[in-house]
Structure 1
Amino acid sequence: MSTNGIAEITVHQNETNQTEIKGTVEEFGADVAREAASQAKASESKASDAQKMAEAWAESTEAPSAAGTRSAKTWSDVARQWAESTTTPDGVKDAKSAKSWAGVAQGHANNASLKANAAAASANTAELQAEASANSAKTATTNAGEAATSASNAAVSAKAADDSYKALVNNDLPKKANLSGANFTGAITAPTAAAGTNTTQVATTAFVQTALAAMVNGSPAALDTLKELAAALGNDPNFATTVTNLIATKLDKTGTAVKATADAAGNTITATYSTKSELSQHVATLSKVATSGSYKDLLNQPAIPSKTSELTNDSRYVSTDTSGNVVLTGALHATQVFNAVYNDLAEFFRRGEETEPGDIIALDESSPSEQYKKATENSKAVVGVHSNEFGQILGGVEPPDGENFIEYNLPYFIPVSLAGRVHVKVYGKVVAGDFIVPSDMPGIGRSARDGESLKNTVGIALQTDNNENVRRIRILVRR
């Protein structure tokens, strides 16, 4: 059986009796196969007829199917005529073969070649001109670079000129004096005129000194300036008149009959003053104390107080209260004070919490107002040590009459040692000379470690103590 035919098979699947099984295809029935074989045989017959028709279309010299048709062989001859005929191919009027058209094209090609040569010559000329233009452009580029460099140099020169101009205007010209109303700031030199010159010539310091020396002419140092002369004349512009008038009020020193009749206040001398003889007559009547000046010659001797408590007319004297404390109403001034029992100078600082003598004190940084509490190693402003050994205390407030000053102020203030020696609370071993700084325990100190910041040092240990517990040691206050 020929296999050139193509069998087309259409399968219609019945939904009711056909079941799709994954991985398999349902087989056709025998009747379906017979039908397919019959269609294949018919297709084979048609294929044979088609083969014969194809052979006729390929090699027949006559029309293969109907008038006007041509086989491939016939069309091949016609194609040859169109390609190589020197006359009209296939009997078509005015037609030309490809060969004829090739001749025409050759003529056109020759003309084109001539024109191409001319165009090539023009192109060569254009190329030469382009090369010349490129060289000109390159030269122009070089010139442009040189022009840019010149412009840059010109800009630098212009800036330098501008800077020089500004320096001239701002620095040099202000240092010059005007021709009219010159105001010189440096030393000006000029020829020194001869002594006695009286012209418009500039007078030098040498000329002036010579003139001044001639004017002073050896006068004493106390009278060699106009100010000293004026002072010597009492700064009186009418000195001569004043002196003349004063002379008129004086007695002639050689006169014997002329006597003064009045004093400077205008009092008549004879009516105002006693003479020596008149005074001598009354000496005997004077009390003895008038001539001796002695207290014991007083007729009514006043009582002199023997202690300050007897003075009642002046409150500014030293007194004592019932406790023996000295009371002053003014400032106490002393050259030296001796035999102080205690060891440090303290000041009252506003209390922020309860503290004890020996506690290290620092500013309470969390408080909105200034107050103080026990210091720790995190404190930023350590001020000193709570002291009860002070020889002098600063600050505080005046207590009501009769109350003790220290006891009244302690609830409100902490007495903080500022200078001297004081006992401070510490823990751990301490060697004399160690710097004492706050520890992590509030108010308690310790020896500073090597390399540790000494910003919050309160003092230097004055004793070695190998105990480890919290106790008090003496330090020299050092801030």
Structure 2
Amino acid sequence: MSIDLEIEVDALNNAGSKSLEVGEYGAEVAKEYADKAFEYAEDAKNSKNLAEAWAESIDAPTGEGTRSAKSWAENARQWAESETEPDGVKGAKSAKTWSELSKDHANAAAASALTSKNSADTAAVSAKAGSDSAKAAALSSQNAASSETVAKQSAELAAAKLEKLETVDLPLKADVASPVFTGQPKAPTAANGNNSQLIANTAFVQGAIAALVASAPGTLDTLKELAAALGNDPNFATTVTNLIAAKLDKTANAVSATKAVQDGNGNNIASTYATKTEVTGGITKLATVASTGSYNDLLNKPVIPSKNSQLTNDSNYVAKDASGNVTITGTLTAAKVVNAYYNDYAEFFPRGEDTEAGDIIALADGTKEKYVKASEDAALVVGVHSDEYAQVIGGETDENGNVDMDKVLQNYIPVALAGRVHVKFYGTAKAGMKVVPSEILGVGRAFTDGDSEESVVGRIVLGDKFQNVRRVKIMVRRQ
């Protein structure tokens, strides 16, 4: 490739040596300008290609979600005159389709107008028929007036007859339901023992009472006297039966008497069990604590520790604060640790600046070990600032050997070194994609050709289609 350049050179004639002296722009300077011009030419070429892509490319010019001017023009054409769904939007219609639908609606409106006219003509015919009906109704009204006069005369005659019935005839009759008789009404006497629906007169009732009493003594010839004799007990027979059942059988008195003094196992109650007096006397011989159960009644009281210094394992005891956090000052050894809710393993790294959960963390430049938000050209990417670690190591204790988490977090960053954690990321996220630091401090982006494998902080395990800066889940350091 050749490059045409114009270079201004000051030529100075040396009269003594007859040589041409080139000023301060020598070959080296010219080469530098040529190299720089080549770089500008390459940049211009790349810009031209990018401009052509933005103008006419069918594919996305700079990544998913972008379109060239040609694509937008085609999209606009679809929205203007496509007969199918424009741009693949389900249920959408183009302007042309909406225009045709409007034309159909106009034709339908014209048809509806014609139908309305026909309905108006039909209404006019109905109006004439209504007028004829009104005339017929007037004639019927006249006939009704004549009928009303006749009906009034009939009603007056009926009222006179009803008045005679109510004031003269009805008072002489008894009601069919619950009649009230006056004077001395009589009824036939039914035969003794008759249980039909015939009316019972006094003769029948007296005969029935005499048959009921028969030859009973005078002290038991009424129901009251009989009830008193039975103790007014409506269940007299059952009561007597139960009382009989509670009595000993006269043929087995000896056996029953023996069982009466035995328990369920055949033991003699008197010789087997202590009496109330014997039990009460025995209790008084026992120590007081046996009956009270009180700690204060013990003769030799054990010492109950009231502070940590009285524990035999005082240097390695387990402490729990008000929030439920447990501190073990010794070494914890376990065969298994299960049910940890979070997913990553973290370590406290010395803090070099303020960071927040999801930031990619890297070693800061300098003579002291400090860690900051990772930049695109970070020398050592170590992990992700985590707020969801299942286990964290490192940090420091106070002068009493206790861990103050608030103070530790002021001086250290909890960095996820293994497991799954959420990291800040922008651009489309795909499962399995490698994540490296971007030009935004602490924020990741997708790995591209030319990026260093040493800068990979992890691989995405849960993708999405968003483009903004958000947190996505990755597997830390899975290269």
Q: Under TM normalisation by the shorter chain, which class is it?
A: 0.3 to 0.5
Q: TM-score, normalised by structure 2?
A: 0.35
Q: TM-score, normalised by structure 1?
A: 0.35
Larger Rg: 1
